Amino acid sequence: MTSLTLRRPDDWHLHLRDGAMLRAVLPETARHFARAIIMPNLVPPVVTAAQAAEYRDRIMAAKPDNSKFQPLMTLYLTEDTDVRDLRAAAEIGLITAVKLYPAGATTNSASGVKDMTKVKRVLDNMAQIGLPLCVHGEVTDPDVDIFDREAVFIDTVLDPIRRDIPGLRVVMEHITTRQGADYARDGGPDLAATITTHHLVINRNHILAGGIKPHYYCLPVAKREEHRLALRKAATSGDPTYFLGTDSAPHTDANKLLPCGCAGCFTATNTLSILAEVFEQENALNQLEKFASLNGPTFYKLPVNEDTITLTKGDPVAYPDQIATEDGPVTVFDPQMLLHWQVSSSS
């Protein structure tokens, strides 16, 4: 196969940031994707409907001319989230989901949730109106090994919440383990999982063996090879449980290359080329449309996109090592393999 036409994909987990960074990274996603779920972990976080509306306006203003890209906004769940504000935002279609960051789990998560009992009322309301909860699924207990934090979260936080609040619709975001893939698959129609592009490509050796590679450091951190293989199997299975959420998370090189560098891989620029390569390696190019374009809208109860993109296979694809921003360069994720597929047209 040398050409593949898909319904236009969506990105169900994306960091666009704000200001100069937003202006620099938005075109990279808007070029190929129709919609994206926009993460609310700005400084300060997007916690109210008014803040979500203002952030959406800034994204729309930063969009390239003629782009039809549509940001799907989220609210950042805190122990003080106002149920009425949240319900009103959902009713008018301003927000598509709510994001749970356990406090301290990742970048700008300090305002996240420390005590899940304090958000029970909000979650009950979300279950009533069918508003999905996007979950950063890692415990923050310093005594739990960082490579075990996802599996422990499933057992000690996620499963109890789902038993306590039947009908709560949950997206396990950026799963990194076989346990995460299995739990999502077995969780019924109200549970789904996103998988990033980079977790299909790297395992923890890529970060740590032969010298430390800050550009491969993200959260949840990449795990052992057996988990990467489980994620590849899940993503390419066609199972409606799984869909693409790139978690493309730009940080300037100055902020990555520090004694205590930021977590995040910036994959917006070459994500579709990488995915096509991975799916071809798995003999599953025919499942790419489900993963990137069909399963996400089905879970979110949104229409699939009517227009298409075409990927063409040819000589190795050239893409920039970095993209320039007014704050300094952002390094594009290096998949350490030649990429042969590129988006050649869209309609």
Using CB under 6 A, list all residues that contact ligand DOR: 15, 41, 106-107, 136, 218-219, 249, 262-264
Q: Which residues contact 54 (CB under 8 A, 6 or more apart)?
A: none
Helix (H) or strand (E) holding 11: strand 11-14
Residue 84, CA distances (Å) to 89, 107, 118, 122, 155 in order: 9, 27, 16, 9, 31
**Interaction partner, residue 136 (Zn ion, ligand DOR, none; CB < 5-8 Å by kind):** ligand DOR
Distance CA 206, CA 216 (A): 7
With vertex at residue 77, the alpha carbon angle to CA 269 and CA 297, rounded to the nearest 5 degrees, is 50
**Interaction partner, residue 219 (ligand DOR, Zn ion, none; CB < 5-8 Å by kind):** ligand DOR
Q: Which is nearer to Zn ion, 100 or 123 (CB)?
A: 100
Nearest of 10, 14, 12, 56 to residue 264 by alpha carbon: 14
Beta carbon of residue 15, minimum distance to ligand DOR (angstroms, whole number) = 5
121's tokens: 């009322």
| Residue 325 backbone class (left: φ over 0; alpha: ψ -120 to 50; beta: rest) | beta
Q: Which residues contact 39 (CB under 8 A, 6 or more apart)?
A: 13, 14, 15, 16, 74, 99
Beta carbon of residue 66, minimum distance to Zn ion (angstroms, whole number) = 28
**Interaction partner, residue 218 (ligand DOR, Zn ion, none; CB < 5-8 Å by kind):** ligand DOR
State the catalytic residues: 247
Q: Which is nearer to ligand DOR, 98 or 294 (CB)?
A: 98
138 binds Zn ion (CB under 5 A): no
**Interaction partner, residue 269 (ligand DOR, Zn ion, none; CB < 5-8 Å by kind):** none
**Interaction partner, residue 106 (ligand DOR, Zn ion, none; CB < 5-8 Å by kind):** ligand DOR
Beta carbon of residue 271, minimum distance to ligand DOR (angstroms, whole number) = 15
Q: Which is nearer to ligand DOR, 69 or 217 (CB)?
A: 217
Beta carbon of residue 125, minimum distance to ligand DOR (angstroms, whole number) = 25
Q: Which is nearer to ligand DOR, 150 or 289 (CB)?
A: 150
Residue closest to Zn ion (Cβ): 247
Beta carbon of residue 180, minimum distance to ligand DOR (angstroms, whole number) = 14
Nearest of 107, 151, 92, 141 to residue 264 by alpha carbon: 107
Q: Which is nearer to Zn ion, 168 or 262 (CB)?
A: 262
Beta carbon of residue 39, minimum distance to Zn ion (angstroms, whole number) = 5
Distance CA 42, CA 48 (A): 12
Per-residue x/- track, 211-250, Zn ion (CB under 5 A): ------------------------------------x---
Q: Which is nearer to Zn ion, 247 or 277 (CB)?
A: 247
Residue 231, CA distances (Å) to 3, 178, 194, 237 in order: 25, 7, 10, 10
Whole-number CA gyration radius for the chain: 19
199's tokens: 């977790």
Helix axis angle, 49-62 relative to 19-30, nearest 10°? Answer: 70
Binding site for Zn ion (CB under 5 A): 247
